[in-house]
Amino acid sequence: MKSSLLARQLQSLFGGEKDEGFRLALAQARNGNSAPLLAQLEPLIEQVDSAYAAYVNLNQWTTVLSGDALMDWNLLTGAIDVKRGWKEMLGYDKTELGDSVVQWQQLLHPEDARRFQEALAVHVERRDRWFELECRLRGKDGGWRWCLMRGAVAARDAAGQPVRLLLLQRDIASFKRTQAELIEARDLAESASQARGTFLANMSHEIRTPMNGIIGMTELALDTDLDAEQRHYLRTVKSSAESLLGIVNDVLDFSKIEAGKMDIEAVAFPVEEVIFEAVRVLAVDAHSKGLELVVDVAPGVPERLVGDPTRLRQLLLNLVGNAIKFTERGEVCVRVEIETGAAGDVLLHVTVRDTGMGIPLSKQQAIFAAFTQADASTTRRFGGTGLGLAICTKLVQLMQGQIWLESEEGKGSCFHFTARMGYVDDAGEQPDAEESFTGRRALVVEKNAGAALCLQTMLERQGIKTAVLAEPAQAVTAIDMNRTLDQAFDYLLVDVDMPAPGGMALIESWRQAGQHERVLALLTTDNQRREIGRLRELGVQVHLMKPVGRGDISAALMLLEQQGRERQSDFGPAQPEASRSLRILLVDDNPVNQEVARRLLQKQGHRIKIANHGGEAVDMFEQGSFDVILLDMQMPVMGGVEAAEAIRARELRRSWVVSREFQPIYIIAMSANAQGSDREQCLAAGMNDYVVKPLILDELHAALAKVPAAGDGNWVSASSVGGVLADGCLDLPGALANLGDVDLLVTMASMFLEDWQNYIDKLARALHARDAANSRLHAHTLKGLLAMFNAEVARAHALMIEGAMTGESQDWDEVGHEFSALQSEMARIRPQLMRFVEKRSVD
Ligand code: ADP
C-alpha cells in the first residue's frame, strides 16, 4: 500500500514516464492482473522506495546547502510529514510549536495569507511546475520575517485533488532590507534630480528675461546712427545673445521635462497646417543652402487630431533643423503618416530624411542622450548643445511614442518618431475631389523626384490626371505635342529653379506660344524675390511656394479658375457700375432675414449664395469665389466676428500662392446693434463696411456700390449706415419703403405670422428656465423681426430683454414685466399684420 502510494507520488513527481519497467508494472497492476506480476514488481517497488529516500535525503541536503527549509504537507491529515528547519528559521526550537499546516498558517501575516491561498489555488488549477511568493511569518521575537515560499503539489488523488504539497521556505530578510534601502536611495535620487530640474527651470526662466532685454535693446541700438565698427560690435552682441538664448531655451525645456513640469496638451488641431507652419519656418535656411524641402502627407492622415501642436512643432523644428544643418546638398523630406488606428486614437508617424553627412553606427545611440554630439568637431562647426535630441526623446515619451534613427555615414540620416494622438470624429473626412477639376490634365515639370511625386499625388486627389517630367527640354516637346493633338494640358506646374534652359525659359516659350495652359510656378523662398516680377510680366499670376501642401494646391487651383473666369468676362461689354452684378455670399441664421436679403439682392441682379452660420460661410468662401460677403454678427455655431477672422486667416494662406497683387474679399457686417463699439469690433476683425439691420434697401445698395471692381485695389474701410425707424406700434408704409417690394413684405409678414407663437414660446421657455444665453438669443431674433415691420414699441421691449441678459446677474422680475409688455404689444400688432397679409393677398 505504502509502495503503491509512493509509486503514485513518484509518478506525479517525475511524470511517471521515465522507467519503462515501472510503467508496465503499473499498467498490469491497474488491470487487476497483479498477482503473477507482483513478484516481478516487488524489486522494482523497492528500488523506487530507496530512490525516494535518496531523493528526500538529497533534497534535505540541497536545502541545507541552499539555506532553505523544507516542509512536506500532508493535505489529507493537515500534518507536516517531513520538516526541516522551518521553525529554526523563525527562531523557534524544533521542539517548540506543533507540526501542523494550521500552525504554520497561524504564523503567516494576515495580508499574505490571502495571497498564499490564491497562489496555491492557481497552481493547483493550472498545474504549473511550482508557485512562489514572498510572505511574512511571525518570528519568535514577535517580529515579521520575510520569507520566499516555493511550493509544488507532490501528489494528487484519483479525482485530481492535491494530497501532498512540498514547500521550500527561504529567509530573504537581508534581501528585503537591501531592496528597501535601494528604493529609498532611488526615491532620494529622484527627488534630488527633480529639485535640480526645478532649480534649472527657474534659473533658465530668470535668465531669459534679461536676455530678451539685451537682444531688444541691441536691436534698437542697431537702428540708430552708428559707424561701421560700432555696428559690427553690436551685431556680434546680438548674434551671441541669440545663440545664448537658444541654449537657455533648450536647458529650460530639458529641465522642465526632467522636473516633471512639462504638460502635454490634448486639443484638436489641424495636423497638416501645424506641420507646414513648422517646416516653413526653416524653409529659408534650406532654400538658401540650395536644398529641396519636401513635405509629404500621406492620404490617410486626418485633417484634425487631438494632441499637443506645440510639442509636435518643437519636434519638427528640432529634427528638420538638424537635417538642414547637417546636409550640404540634396534634399530634406518630411513624411507624415498614420500608423495604427485603434479605436479612439491613432499613432502619428513622422519621418525626417536627409541626404547629409549621416551618423556612424557607434554614435547612433549616444546622440539621444543629453549634451552628446556625434562628433566633437560638430560643436565647433555647427554649434548646438547636444540637447535637441534628448528633448525630442523626452517629448515623444510624454506623447506615448518612440524616436529612432536609421543612418549610414556619408549617406544621410532618417529620423522617425511616433506620437499617440486622439482622433476627431470628423477627422477622417477628406475634402472631396473638386468636381470642377475632374478630368483635367496637368504636367509637373520638377527636377526633384520626391517633390514631383508629392505634387502628382495631391493633384490626382483633386481628380487631375498628372504627368511628371524632370527636364525642361522634354517638357517643351511634350507640351507641344499635346497642343498639336489639340489636347493641351490644362495646368503646367513649373519648377522655376531647374538646370538650363531652366523653368523660366519654359514659361517664356509658353508665353510666346499663346498661353494655352494655365501655369503655376513653383518657387522657393530664395528665388521668390528675384523671379516674381518676371513671372508677373510673363502673365503667371499664381505660384506655389515650396514645400507645397494640400491646402496650397487647392487654393492655387481655385485662384486659377477665378482668373479664367475673369479673363472670359473681359470679352463681354463692360457693365456700368450701377448695375454691376455681384457674387454675394449672404450669411444669416434666420430664414426670414435670409429671404428678405435674397429677394432684395436678386432684384438688383446680384447672384446670391446663402450660408446659415459663420462655419458654413468659411467653408463656402474656401470653395467658391465671391465679390462680397454680407455677414450677420450674431449667429449660432460661429458668429460674424469669428468668421471674418477665419476668412482673413485663410486669405493669408492664399496670398502665399498669388503672384499678382492679392485682393482680400470685401466683407460687410450686418448688425442689429448700431452702437459704435460693435462697429469697431467689426473693423478690428477685418471687415470693410457695416450696415444696420433690418436692412434698408437704399443703404444696402449704397454699401454694395462701394464694393470695388476686381482690380480696384483701394478699398476703403467702413462707413456706418444709421438705421432710422419710424415710431408707432406698426409702421407698414415705412417697412414697405425700406424693402421696396410689397410682395416681399407680404411674404415676410406671412412667414413671421406662421411662426409667431413659436417665437414667443421659445423666449418664454428660456426666461422660465432663467437661461440668459438663450433668452438673449430669442429676444434678439424677435427684435430683428419686429424691426422689419417697424413695430417700434414691441421692438423696444425685445431690445430691453436682450440688453438685460448681457450682465453677470439678471433682474428676472423686471425682465418678466418687459416680457408681459412685449406679449401684449405683439398681440396688438398681430391683427394689423394679418389684415395686411389678407388684404394684399386678395389683391
Ligand atoms: P545639437 O544639434 O544641438 O548638437 P542634437 O541633440 O539635436 O544637438 O543632436 C546631437 C548630435 O546628433 C548632433 O550634434 C549631430 O552630431 C548629430 N545629428 C543630429 N541630427 C543629425 C542629422 N540629421 N545628420 C547628421 N548628424 C546629426
> pLDDT tens, 639-675?
888 888 888 777 766 655 555 555 678 999 988 766 6
DSSP-based three-state secondary structure for 258: helix
Angle among Cα 837, 842, 843 to the nearest 5 degrees reads 100
Pocket of ligand 1 contains residue 557 by CB under 6 Å? no
**Residue 45 pLDDT greater than 80, yes or no:** no
Question: How far, CA to CA in Å, does 377 sit from each of 27, 329, 382?
Answer: 80, 20, 8
**Residue 116 pLDDT greater than 90, yes or no:** yes
| pLDDT at 389 (0 to 100) | 92
DSSP-based three-state secondary structure for 692: strand
583/585 Cα distance (integer angstroms): 7
Q: In this structure, how many other beta carbons lie within 10 angstroms of the beta carbon of residue 360?
A: 13
- Confidence class of residue 81 from pLDDT cuts 50, 70 and 90? confident
- Counting residues of the chain whose pLDDT is more than 90, the rounded percentage is 24
Distance from Cα 460 to the centre of ligand 1, integer Å = 37
**DSSP code string of 472-535:** HHHHHHHHHHHHHTT---SEEEEESS-STTHHHHHHHHHHHHT--SEEEEEE-TTTHHHHHHHH
Give the residue carrying C-alpha cell 522506495.
Answer: 49
Pocket of ligand 1 contains residue 389 by CB under 6 Å? yes
Pocket of ligand 1 contains residue 386 by CB under 6 Å? yes
| pLDDT at 23 (0 to 100) | 61
- Confidence class of residue 579 from pLDDT cuts 50, 70 and 90? low
Distance from Cα 36 to the centre of ligand 1, integer Å = 85
**Residue 492 pLDDT greater than 90, yes or no:** yes
| pLDDT at 434 (0 to 100) | 46
pLDDT in tens, 18-33: 455 556 656 666 666 5
- Out of 249, 315, 322, give the residue to mutate to test ligand 1, the one with the largest number of ligand atoms within 8 Å of its CB: 322
Nearest-atom number in ligand 1 for the CA of 372 is: 10
| pLDDT at 35 (0 to 100) | 59
Q: Is 486 left (phi over 0), alpha (psi -120 to 50) or beta?
A: left
What is the rounded average pLDDT of the residues 690-713? 74
Pocket of ligand 1 contains residue 819 by CB under 6 Å? no
Q: Which three cell numbers stand for residue 147?
A: 520569507
Distance from Cα 323 to the centre of ligand 1, integer Å = 8
- Confidence class of residue 721 from pLDDT cuts 50, 70 and 90? very low
**DSSP code string of 575-586:** PPGGGPPPEEEE
pLDDT in tens, 497-540: 888 788 989 999 888 888 788 898 998 877 776 787 788 888 88
Instruction: Please state the three-class secondary structure of 370-424 as a single string.
Output: CCCCCCHHHHHHHCCCCCHHHHHHHHHHHCCCCEEEEECCCCCEEEEEEEEEEEC
What is the rounded average pLDDT of the residues 92-119? 90
Counting Cα atoms < 13 Å in the Cβ hemisphere of 210 gives 4
| pLDDT at 65 (0 to 100) | 60
Higher-confidence position of 341 and 593: 593
pLDDT in tens, 412-451: 999 999 999 998 765 444 444 444 688 899 999 999 999 9
Angle formed by the axes of helices 591-603 and 697-705, nearest 10°: 60
What is the rounded average pLDDT of the residues 106-124? 92
- Min mean pLDDT across 236-245, 378-387, 696-705, 803-812 is at 378-387
- Min mean pLDDT across 627-641, 694-708, 786-800 is at 694-708
**Residue 842 pLDDT greater than 60, yes or no:** no
Nearest-atom number in ligand 1 for the CA of 384 is: 3
DSSP-based three-state secondary structure for 611: strand
Helix (H) or strand (E) holding 155: strand 144-156
Nearest Cα residue to atom 3 of ligand 1: 384
Phi, psi of 80 (to 5 degrees): -100, 105
What is the rounded average pLDDT of the residues 347-360? 95
What is the rounded average pLDDT of the residues 791-812? 83
| pLDDT at 253 (0 to 100) | 82
Radius of gyration of the chain (CA): 42
242/257 Cα distance (integer angstroms): 23
| pLDDT at 118 (0 to 100) | 92
Q: End-to-end distance of the chain based on CA atoms, in angstroms?
A: 120
| pLDDT at 433 (0 to 100) | 45
What is the rounded average pLDDT of the residues 682-687? 79
| pLDDT at 108 (0 to 100) | 93
Residue 631 contacts residue 678 (beta carbons within 8 Å): no
Q: Residue 197's closest CA among 136, 252, 117?
A: 252
Pocket of ligand 1 contains residue 308 by CB under 6 Å? no
**Residue 712 pLDDT greater than 50, yes or no:** no
Pocket of ligand 1 contains residue 4 by CB under 6 Å? no
**Residue 713 pLDDT greater than 80, yes or no:** no
Residue 395 contacts residue 311 (beta carbons within 8 Å): yes
Residue 297 contacts residue 336 (beta carbons within 8 Å): yes
- Out of 389, 408, 413, give the residue to mutate to test ligand 1, the one with the largest number of ligand atoms within 8 Å of its CB: 389
Distance from Cα 840 to the centre of ligand 1, integer Å = 81
What is the rounded average pLDDT of the residues 160-165? 91
Pocket of ligand 1 contains residue 388 by CB under 6 Å? yes
Higher-confidence position of 811 and 324: 324
Higher-confidence position of 458 and 211: 458
| pLDDT at 348 (0 to 100) | 95
What is the rounded average pLDDT of the residues 773-800? 86
Pocket of ligand 1 contains residue 524 by CB under 6 Å? no
479/508 Cα distance (integer angstroms): 13
Nearest Cα residue to atom 2 of ligand 1: 384
**Residue 1 pLDDT greater than 60, yes or no:** no
| pLDDT at 405 (0 to 100) | 95
**Residue 38 pLDDT greater than 70, yes or no:** no
Please list, in sequence order, all residues whose beta carbon lies within 8 angstroms of the beta carbon of residue 604, skipping any fewer than 6 positions away. 701, 704
| pLDDT at 716 (0 to 100) | 27
What is the rounded average pLDDT of the residues 796-803? 86
Q: Residue 122's closest CA among 132, 113, 111, 107?
A: 132
Higher-confidence position of 236 and 435: 236
Distance from Cα 322 to the centre of ligand 1, integer Å = 6
| pLDDT at 634 (0 to 100) | 83
Q: Which three cell numbers stand for residue 63?
A: 536545502
Pocket of ligand 1 contains residue 413 by CB under 6 Å? yes
Q: Is 329 left (phi over 0), alpha (psi -120 to 50) or beta?
A: beta
DSSP-based three-state secondary structure for 658: strand
What is the rounded average pLDDT of the residues 731-742? 76
Pocket of ligand 1 contains residue 367 by CB under 6 Å? yes
Pocket of ligand 1 contains residue 99 by CB under 6 Å? no
| pLDDT at 430 (0 to 100) | 47
| pLDDT at 295 (0 to 100) | 95
Tell me the helix, strand and coil percentages in the chain, rounded to 5: 55, 15, 30
**Residue 135 pLDDT greater than 90, yes or no:** yes
84/67 Cα distance (integer angstroms): 11
pLDDT in tens, 57-78: 666 556 556 678 889 999 999 9
Strands (E), 323-382: 331-338, 345-354
- Burial of residue 27, with CB atoms counted within 10 A of its CB: 0-12 exposed, 13-18 middle, 19 or more buried: exposed
Pocket of ligand 1 contains residue 322 by CB under 6 Å? yes
Residue 688 contacts residue 715 (beta carbons within 8 Å): yes
pLDDT in tens, 179-199: 888 999 888 888 887 777 777
Sign, CA dihedral 183-185-189-194, equals positive
pTM: 0.52
DSSP 79: B
- Min mean pLDDT across 423-427, 540-544, 737-741 is at 423-427
Q: Residue 26's closest CA among 53, 13, 8?
A: 8
Pocket of ligand 1 contains residue 375 by CB under 6 Å? yes
Residue 788 contacts residue 748 (beta carbons within 8 Å): yes
Pocket of ligand 1 contains residue 330 by CB under 6 Å? no
Pocket of ligand 1 contains residue 378 by CB under 6 Å? yes
- Counting residues of the chain whose pLDDT is more than 70, the rounded percentage is 82
Pocket of ligand 1 contains residue 356 by CB under 6 Å? yes
- Out of 373, 392, 408, give the residue to mutate to test ligand 1, the one with the largest number of ligand atoms within 8 Å of its CB: 373
Phi, psi of 341 (to 5 degrees): -115, 65
Per residue in 388-411, is it b (16+ CB within 10 Å) or e — as a string? bbbbbbbbbebbebebebebeeee
- Burial of residue 611, with CB atoms counted within 10 A of its CB: 0-12 exposed, 13-18 middle, 19 or more buried: buried
524/511 Cα distance (integer angstroms): 22
| pLDDT at 569 (0 to 100) | 38
Pocket of ligand 1 contains residue 414 by CB under 6 Å? no
| pLDDT at 357 (0 to 100) | 93
What is the rounded average pLDDT of the residues 297-320? 91
- Out of 367, 392, 408, give the residue to mutate to test ligand 1, the one with the largest number of ligand atoms within 8 Å of its CB: 367
Residue 48 contacts residue 10 (beta carbons within 8 Å): yes
Higher-confidence position of 200 and 842: 200
What is the rounded average pLDDT of the residues 739-743? 74
Q: Which three cell numbers stand for residue 259?
A: 522636473
| Beta pairing class for 345-354 and 413-423 | antiparallel
- Out of 334, 359, 382, give the residue to mutate to test ligand 1, the one with the largest number of ligand atoms within 8 Å of its CB: 359
- Burial of residue 645, with CB atoms counted within 10 A of its CB: 0-12 exposed, 13-18 middle, 19 or more buried: middle
**Residue 55 pLDDT greater than 50, yes or no:** yes
Higher-confidence position of 160 and 84: 160
Mean pLDDT for the chain?
Answer: 80
- Confidence class of residue 725 from pLDDT cuts 50, 70 and 90? very low
**Residue 565 pLDDT greater than 80, yes or no:** no
| pLDDT at 597 (0 to 100) | 82
Pocket of ligand 1 contains residue 314 by CB under 6 Å? no
Residue 824 contacts residue 760 (beta carbons within 8 Å): no
The most distant pair of C-alpha atoms in the chain lies apart, rounded to whole Å, by 130
User: Residue type at 649?
Assistant: A
Question: How far, CA to CA in Å, does 358 sit from each of 339, 413, 417?
Answer: 26, 5, 17
| pLDDT at 795 (0 to 100) | 87
Nearest Cα residue to atom 20 of ligand 1: 322
Q: Residue 342's closest CA among 239, 418, 408, 282?
A: 418
| pLDDT at 554 (0 to 100) | 83
Pocket of ligand 1 contains residue 373 by CB under 6 Å? yes
Nearest Cα residue to atom 19 of ligand 1: 322
